[in-house]
């Protein structure tokens, strides 16, 4: 199952990634750390629970043995032993007939089974008919990442195995393959690309932040292959251990699974994360520390998104059926919108600075304006939860959605009148995410419960060609100075996105929810000061 995915723009990844060669000291340190983690996990289980589990297990074994004796399974075991003895004798006869005991001798002559006179070599270097140079050259070409390549990072879960798979995608060559993978200790829930590393004093890099079932956020370097440790960790609060004193915990951070992560592209050392513990945490990555904890939701925070152009504006959505826009300079002041179901994902409209999308678990997508209290329009997109949605990077009005109802849909949302232009069952089971390629505007990657990663170019579909092939493209660098807001066109006002959107949000008379957790916390702090 693929749980989450994120694109990396062209030209960012290192042409030839670094390879990690572990020393004996590194291996010893890793083993020690692993032992400590196993020990901590064992200590979380109380003696009572352990004894109860052992009692049930032993009781189950006794009942099983009684049943086996009644059914004569013991006799069958004796027959199986005799069969194994006969099979071992047959194996010895085969080894003697084909000379398998001398298999490793170079230049051995194989006989029998139609292979008389066939010579084989223990090493391919000694075989005159095998040239490994071409094979090695192909592997080296696949290892090198070209400037025309996009990376796509996907979170994967298979039984008890969790990892990140890093794909290389080239649109011109129509190629997609796994470059390398990163092993994870816990189930991946969300991903976010970023270019900041505190160890490099803020120099640009190629990193991905991973939210899992644990309260920590791991940040991995995508330009390093065969690494076993993240570049750095934003540590959450440690879980309480039974029958022992609680270890010292960080002053801030999450105490439960991390469900959403968003990097602030305008302030590169700032990261926001939402958690199942109902909080939103703002991180200063230069110190790897929590600088503020927001508690304006009353249930699990499923999704968080920084505004694409504004430093301070944050959009969040939670299971309490609300979406919230707040100014992080005054977090006790915010504006919320009621949803028809539990929030699945929130997303700013990068073509319109006042607007954002919200999807919920009842199959509804709402398009909201920060200046109004009700949605601009409500779209009944799917029969089940809308687990993922994405806007084209450069084509206005092109929206894609996926759902746990197994369907992938494409919408044309021009003039606030959405219409479905494509519906397709991509045979991937329940869908988990869809994301737009930042460099190929009508190419989307999606993943679900089965059949791996799928990349689809809408221009390869009839409906996609008809609606979007001749649509005007608006690149990101042109939006700040040239875009005209659709709502402002009625009064002939041309907007500068960076400046006017900031002013619009700053001058809003946002209402304070009297029952909000932010106000409760503020009162508690005052009481503590009086004491």
pLDDT over 60 (residue 29): yes
Question: How crowded is residue 448: how many other Cβ atoms within 10 Å of its Cβ?
Answer: 27
pLDDT over 90 (residue 281): yes
pLDDT over 70 (residue 33): no
Token pair 């065969």: residue: 226
Predicted confidence at residue 367, as pLDDT, reads 97
pLDDT over 60 (residue 235): yes
Helix axes 47-70, 73-98, angle to 10 degrees: 90
Does 12 or 508 have the greater pLDDT score? Answer: 12
Predicted confidence at residue 487, as pLDDT, reads 34
Q: Is the dihedral of CA 47, 49, 51, 54 positive or negative?
A: negative
pLDDT over 80 (residue 303): yes
Phi, psi of 169 (to 5 degrees): -120, 130
Condensed to tens digits (0 to 9), the pLDDT of residues 112-165 reads 445 555 666 666 666 666 655 555 666 778 889 999 999 999 999 988 889 999
pLDDT over 50 (residue 517): no
Predicted confidence at residue 438, as pLDDT, reads 95
Produce one character per residue of 78-116: b if its CB has 16 or more CB atoms within 10 Å, e if not: eeeeeeeeeeeeeeeeeeeeeeeeeeeeeebeeeeeeee
Least confident of 345-349, 379-383, 447-451, 513-517: 513-517
CB 339 within 8 A of CB 354: no
Count CA within 13 A, CB hemisphere, residue 263: 21
Q: What's the whole-number mean pLDDT along residues 10-26? A: 82
Q: What's the whole-number mean pLDDT along residues 257-272? A: 94
């Amino acid at each position: 199952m693929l749980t989450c995915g994120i694109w990396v723009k062209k030209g960012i990844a290192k042409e030839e990634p670094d390879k990690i060669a572990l020393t004996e000291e590194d291996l010893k340190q890793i083993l020690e750390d692993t032992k400590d983690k196993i020990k901590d996990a064992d200590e979380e289980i109380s003696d009572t629970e352990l004894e109860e589990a052992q009692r049930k297990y032993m009781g189950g074994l006794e009942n099983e043995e009684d049943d086996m004796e009644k059914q004569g399974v013991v006799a069958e075991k004796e027959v199986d032993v005799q069969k194994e003895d006969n099979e071992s004798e047959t194996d010895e006869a085969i080894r003697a007939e084909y000379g398998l005991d001398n298999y490793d001798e170079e230049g051995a002559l194989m006989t029998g089974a139609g292979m008389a006179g066939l010579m084989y070599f223990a090493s391919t270097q000694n075989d005159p008919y095998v040239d490994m140079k071409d094979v090695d050259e192909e592997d080296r070409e696949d290892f090198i990442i070209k400037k025309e390549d996009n990376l796509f990072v996907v979170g994967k879960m298979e039984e008890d195995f969790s990892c990140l798979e890093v794909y290389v995608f080239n649109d011109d060559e129509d190629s997609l393959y796994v470059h390398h993978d990163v092993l994870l200790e816990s189930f991946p829930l969300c991903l976010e690309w970023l270019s900041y590393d505190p160890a490099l004093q803020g120099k640009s890099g190629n990193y991905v932040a991973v939210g899992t079932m644990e309260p920590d956020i791991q940040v991995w370097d995508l330009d390093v292959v065969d690494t076993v440790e993240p570049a750095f960790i934003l540590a959450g609060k440690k879980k309480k251990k039974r029958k022992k004193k609680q270890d010292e915990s960080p002053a801030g951070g999450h105490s439960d699974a991390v469900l959403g992560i968003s990097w602030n592209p305008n302030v590169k050392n700032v990261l926001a994360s939402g958690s199942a513990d109902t909080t939103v945490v703002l991180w200063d990555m230069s110190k790897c520390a929590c600088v503020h904890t927001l508690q304006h939701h009353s249930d699990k925070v499923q999704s968080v998104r920084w505004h694409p152009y504004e430093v301070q504006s944050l959009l969040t959505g939670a299971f309490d059926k609300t979406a919230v826009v707040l100014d992080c300079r005054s977090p006790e002041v915010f504006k919320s919108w009621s949803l028809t179901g539990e929030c699945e994902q929130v997303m700013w409209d990068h073509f319109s600075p006042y607007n954002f999308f919200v999807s919920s678990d009842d199959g509804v997508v709402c398009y909201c304006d920060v200046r109004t209290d009700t949605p601009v329009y409500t779209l009944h997109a799917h029969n089940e939860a809308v687990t993922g949605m994405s806007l084209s990077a450069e084509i206005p009005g092109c929206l894609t959605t996926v759902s746990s109802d197994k369907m992938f849909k494409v919408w044309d949302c021009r003039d606030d009148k959405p219409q479905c232009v494509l519906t397709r069952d991509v045979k991937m089971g329940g869908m988990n995410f869809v994301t737009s390629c930042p460099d190929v505007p009508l190419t989307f990657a999606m993943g679900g419960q089965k059949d791996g990663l799928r990349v689809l170019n809408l221009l390869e579909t009839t409906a996609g060609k008809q609606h979007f092939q001749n649509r005007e493209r608006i690149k990101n660098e042109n939006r700040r100075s040239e875009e005209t807001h659709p709502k402002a066109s009625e009064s002939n006002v041309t907007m500068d996105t960076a400046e006017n959107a900031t002013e619009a949000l700053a001058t809003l008379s946002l209402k304070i929810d009297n029952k909000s957790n932010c106000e409760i916390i503020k009162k508690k702090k005052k009481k503590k000061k009086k004491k």
